[in-house]
Amino acid sequence: MPTRYMWGDSVTVTRLSLGRYQLNFATQNMNSGNVQVTALTAGTEHCKVESWGAFKATVRCYMPDGTTLKDTQFTLRYTLGNQTANCGSPGIYGPGIHDTTYGSGGYVLWNGTIPAANMYSIFEADVSCSTGCGITSTPVTVSTLAPGQYFIRYPDFTLSNSVLTWQLPLVTAQGPTSVYCKLSAYWKLTLLGTELKVDCWSGNGASKTNANFSNLLFTQTFGSC
């Protein structure tokens, strides 16, 4: 892969079979964190993450019928699950969940039960690390509204404790089937937190169905000290 299409690590992509790809990361251990995948196409194909861990991730891409795999371009974003408070020293990842100096946000890996280690939000309160505010971590809540419909609340990111309000929610289905997921609603910074609704569909889009998915919420630094 040309380096102009990569950032953060050296990645090699191997086509395993029609519509399936393995991405091998040279140095990045992916046993934690979050993966988001999006098809890059003017057509109706969709792509998803099949699995990830250690130093690799596997991606699947489908035709709109939901049964036929198809070779398709895609983008992949891996986000660190880093909660180390090192005050943003140059060259070192700062407090937060992702690979920026001052990262706030959270992620959910939904598999029907959500292991506690993979379900949390980060409240990064002190951009300068000079006043001792530090970070807090509060569990994300997930509710199943109906088959294939999920409600997610990030309780740290409320209207009352926000300083900067830019946010970006992302979601991708996870697993070896053609089921796909998308955001259907987004309520930013309510009194109870930032809230999302995720809908998951059968591969051909005919009906909503239960699915595993990966959700990521990027935010700016939050809180005041």
Rounded-to-integer distance, Cα 48 and Cα 147, Å: 20
Within 10 angstroms of residue 205's Cβ, the number of other Cβ atoms is 13
Question: How high is the pLDDT of residue 56?
Answer: 95
User: With DSSP H G I counted as helix, E B as strand and the rest as coil, what are the percentages for the chain, rounded to 5?
Assistant: 5, 50, 50
The radius of gyration of the chain from alpha carbons, rounded to an integer in Å, stands at 18
116 CB burial (10 A radius; 0-12, 13-18, 19+): exposed
Q: Is 166 exposed, middle or buried (0-12, 13-18, 19+ CB in 10 A)?
A: exposed
Residues of the chain below pLDDT 70: 1-4, 81-104, 114-137, 161-165, 220-225
* pTM exceeding the 0.85 threshold for the entire prediction: no
Pair 62, 70: CB distance under 8 Å: yes
Please check whether residue 82 is in contact with residue 96, taking contact to mean a CB–CB distance below 8 angstroms.
yes
In whole angstroms, what is the distance from residue 55 CA to residue 21 CA? 14
What pLDDT score does 81 carry? 66
Query: Given this model, what pLDDT does residue 98 score?
Result: 52
Q: What is the pLDDT of residue 137?
A: 63
Are 172 and 33 spatial neighbours (Cβ–Cβ below 8 Å)? no
- Predicted local distance difference test score (pLDDT) of residue 129: 42
The pLDDT of residue 57 is 96
* Closest-CA residue to 72 (of 122, 15, 120): 15
CA pair distance 143, 135, nearest whole angstrom: 26
Give whole-number Cα distances, 68 to 18, 62, 64, 199, in Å.
9, 6, 8, 22
